[in-house]
A and B are shown apart, each in its own frame.
Chain A
Amino acid sequence: MIKVSHLTKQFSGSTVVDDISFEVERGEIIGFLGPNGAGKTTTMRMLTGFLHPTRGSVKIAGVNVMENPLEARRHIGYMPESCPLYTDMRVNEYLKFRGQIKEVPRRALKQRIRVVKEQCGLTDVGRRIIGQLSKGYRQRVGLADSLLGDPDLLILDEPTAGLDPNQIREVRELIGRLAERHTLLLSTHILPEVEMACKRVLIIDKGKIVASDSPESLQKRLMGDSLISADIQGDASIIEPFLLSIDGVDKVSTEPQEDGWSRFLIDAAGPDIRSAIFKCAVGGGWKLRELHLESRSLEDLFVAITHGGASAEKKS
């Protein structure tokens, strides 16, 4: 569906997107992650043809975006960051205008507008002026607009930015429903969203793609070590060295609990060492009330990849 090869964009000398290549198959749901200023929006703008790349090429559904921009754009439904709309128009007017621009056949247009309005929960606000709508509703109008042409590919740049938790949930559910019918490329800062919806994650940092895999296998690949949390009763300063002496333990940090217990967070490489921790507690005669393997979230992964890169660069 998308084929990006050696895509580079330079703005007055500085390289914002640096020689990235990736492919997206039809029906995939891709989470596009990266810190602010990493080049996500620029990449998305190049995919939609809004910006021309300095080097490299983008093919959407087999059509080169630079050589045949109009045909490529017919396959794309795009919602830019912050969802710009003509705030002086009414919702119905706006959707009609956008439908006409997107070459929805005149006869089908009314029906199409009705369908996208239903999909996006806009049925009751059709006659309202866009400028008077709440941010959540505007976001829905933007989504409805991107769906009008029934595109194969939906590119959504931070669709949940600036929304309250309820609105985020609504938009997320809507995106979940859309994912059944469209190929989806989604950039966001809300990582649980990606974890829930996306089959594959692309992480971009400083204009380069630093990771591209499913969230689970990324976790496995990049987080080979495990994090174990153990609640033990006793003097933390005595217990800590014992825990550190266990084979495979890299780091132990302590969080004192209010009831005299201490929570130890143990970073360990290699196999599961929970039984060794249990033995250690029994050996020392300390009470143990909780022992479990913390699951690493995509957030940890994101921080590890993007921050790790930053610190590595500083060191060099």
Chain B
Amino acid sequence: MKSFLTLWRREFAALFLSPIAYVMMMFFLLVTGCGFYWLVKENLNLAHSIQGLVVVIWACMLIVIPILTMRSFAEERKNGTLETLLTSPVNDHTVVMAKFTGVLTFFLLMCAPTALYMQILCWIAPGTSAMIDPGALLGGYIMIAWIAAAFVALGILASALTSNQIIAAIITFSLMSILFFGGLFEPHLSKTPLVREIGGYVSSALHLMEASRGVFDTRSLVFYLSTTLFLLFATTKAVSARR
């Protein structure tokens, strides 16, 4: 546990030592900020705007998560620091968990300021606070955290499979895109009902829309939890297999 905390702290701090983290944060807050402004301005229904906001955050993941996760193993492997790390008295799964939680914490922290958008809105237009459903808002954020966990685990796995950061990012981006677009165009996906059903089941867009409407669906939580655990397990195996 102690070495996990040490490694987690290193992973988390390392993100702040590179300019990429700051650039990502700026990109993320700019896109979500502008997106929310536009949604509120164009939409009469505030509930739709909140749904829209979580979908914008989710869409940003498509860029942010591959870039944040690509360095985790690939960079260490390329620089050779993985050798010093994996010859220290730490387990492979501790290293994997520390890298995973390091990036996930950073991402969730990056999402935190978007919660302020509601506060700003209430401050500008005092009448709107009554229209915000805190349950739906919370549901949306919880679902974002679950989806982010699965996607970060996917990114870490891709990074463990290659020593090239760009390849790791492209693998993560591609797989996330399949879930992204597969879900988004679910009605047009296929004529076969089974394919459409699977498309709907894995569609993170649909999960988010439901959650940010206040609908709590355990199926999607189980889906993301099991996916995350499986991907972390696969990452540990990938790290061990390359020994």
Q: In the assembly, what is the distance between CA of A98 and CA of B90, in Å?
A: 11
- State whether B84 touches A80 (Cβ < 8 A): yes
- State whether A80 touches B14 (Cβ < 8 A): no
Tell me the smallest distance from the CB of B237 to a CB of chain A, in Å: 13
0 or 1 for each of B81-99: is its CB under 8 Å from A? (1 = yes): 1011111111100000000
Tell me the smallest distance from the CB of A56 to a CB of chain B, in Å: 15
Kindly name the residue among B6, B7, B84 whose own CB sees the greatest number of chain A CB atoms within 10 A.
B84
Q: In the assembly, what is the distance between CA of A84 and CA of B79, in Å?
A: 6
- State whether A50 touches B87 (Cβ < 8 A): yes
- State whether B18 touches A84 (Cβ < 8 A): no
B131 interface hit (Cβ, 8 Å): no
- State whether A50 touches B83 (Cβ < 8 A): yes
Q: In the assembly, what is the distance between CA of A98 and CA of B10, in Å?
A: 10
- State whether A86 touches B81 (Cβ < 8 A): yes
Contact of A98 among B2, B88, B243 (CB under 8 A): B88
Given contacts A50-B243, A101-B6, contact A88 B17 (CB under 8 A): yes
Q: In the assembly, what is the distance between CA of A80 and CA of B83, in Å?
A: 7
0 or 1 for each of A88-113: is its CB under 8 Å from B? (1 = yes): 11000000011011110000000000
Q: In the assembly, what is the distance between CA of A82 and CA of B17, in Å?
A: 23
A231 interface hit (Cβ, 8 Å): no
Residue of B nearest to A149 (CB): B89
How many A-B pairs with Cβ below 8 Å? 63
Give the contact-size bracket for chain A. Answer: 20 to 34
Contact of A73 among B10, B18, B83, B88 (CB under 8 A): B88
- State whether A100 touches B81 (Cβ < 8 A): no
Residue of A nearest to B243 (CB): A52
B126 interface hit (Cβ, 8 Å): no
Contact of B14 among A50, A86, A145 (CB under 8 A): A86
Residue of A nearest to B9 (CB): A97
- State whether A78 touches B84 (Cβ < 8 A): yes
Q: In the assembly, what is the distance between CA of A71 and CA of B89, in Å?
A: 7
Residues of the A chain whose Cβ atoms lie less than 8 Å from the Cβ of B89 = 70-71, 73-74, 101-103
Q: In the assembly, what is the distance between CA of A87 and CA of B243, in Å?
A: 24
B128 interface hit (Cβ, 8 Å): no
Q: Quick one: which of B1-51 are within 8 Å of A by CB?
A: 2-3, 6-7, 10, 14, 17-18
Residue of B nearest to A80 (CB): B83
Contact of B3 among A48, A80, A87, A103 (CB under 8 A): A103
Tell me the smallest distance from the CB of A69 to a CB of chain B, in Å: 8
Residues of the A chain whose Cβ atoms lie less than 8 Å from the Cβ of B14 = 86, 88
- State whether B91 touches A70 (Cβ < 8 A): yes
Q: In the assembly, what is the distance between CA of A51 and CA of B84, in Å?
A: 12
- Total chain B interface residues with beta-carbon distance under 8 A: 21
- State whether B2 touches A80 (Cβ < 8 A): no
- State whether A73 touches B81 (Cβ < 8 A): no
B80 interface hit (Cβ, 8 Å): yes
0 or 1 for each of A117-145: is its CB under 8 Å from B? (1 = yes): 00000000000000000000000000001
Q: In the assembly, what is the distance between CA of A48 and CA of B89, in Å?
A: 10
A76 interface hit (Cβ, 8 Å): yes
A45 interface hit (Cβ, 8 Å): yes
Q: In the assembly, what is the distance between CA of A70 and CA of B14, in Å?
A: 25
Q: Quick one: which of B51-93 are within 8 Å of A by CB?
A: 79-81, 83-91
Residues of the A chain whose Cβ atoms lie less than 8 Å from the Cβ of B91 = 70
Contact of B84 among A52, A70, A84, A87 (CB under 8 A): A84
A85 interface hit (Cβ, 8 Å): yes
Q: In the assembly, what is the distance between CA of A274 and CA of B7, in Å?
A: 67
Tell me the smallest distance from the CB of B140 to a CB of chain A, in Å: 35
Residues of the A chain whose Cβ atoms lie less than 8 Å from the Cβ of B88 = 73, 98, 101-102
Kindly name the residue among A48, A87, A101 whose own CB sees the greatest number of chain B CB atoms within 10 A.
A101
Residues of the B chain whose Cβ atoms lie less than 8 Å from the Cβ of A84 = 79-81, 83-84
Q: In the assembly, what is the distance between CA of A89 and CA of B18, in Å?
A: 11
- State whether B87 touches A49 (Cβ < 8 A): yes
Residue of A nearest to B240 (CB): A52
Tell me the smallest distance from the CB of A295 to a CB of chain B, in Å: 39
Residue of B nearest to A74 (CB): B89
Q: Quick one: which of B219-243 are within 8 Å of A by CB?
A: 243
Q: In the assembly, what is the distance between CA of A144 and CA of B89, in Å?
A: 17
Enumerate chain A interface residues (CB-CB to B < 8 A). Answer: 45, 48-52, 70-71, 73-74, 76, 78, 80-82, 84-89, 97-98, 100-103, 145
Q: List 14 A-B contacts (CB under 8 A).
A: A45-B83, A48-B87, A51-B243, A76-B87, A80-B87, A81-B80, A84-B79, A88-B18, A89-B17, A98-B84, A101-B90, A102-B88, A103-B2, A103-B89
A84-B83, A101-B89 known; 18 other A-B pairs, CB under 8 Å? Answer: A45-B83, A49-B87, A49-B243, A50-B83, A50-B87, A73-B87, A74-B89, A78-B84, A80-B83, A82-B80, A84-B79, A84-B80, A84-B81, A86-B81, A87-B79, A89-B17, A97-B6, A98-B88
Q: When A and B form their complex, which 7 residue pairs have the shortest distance between CB atoms, in order from nearest? A: A84-B80, A100-B6, A88-B17, A48-B87, A84-B81, A73-B89, A80-B83
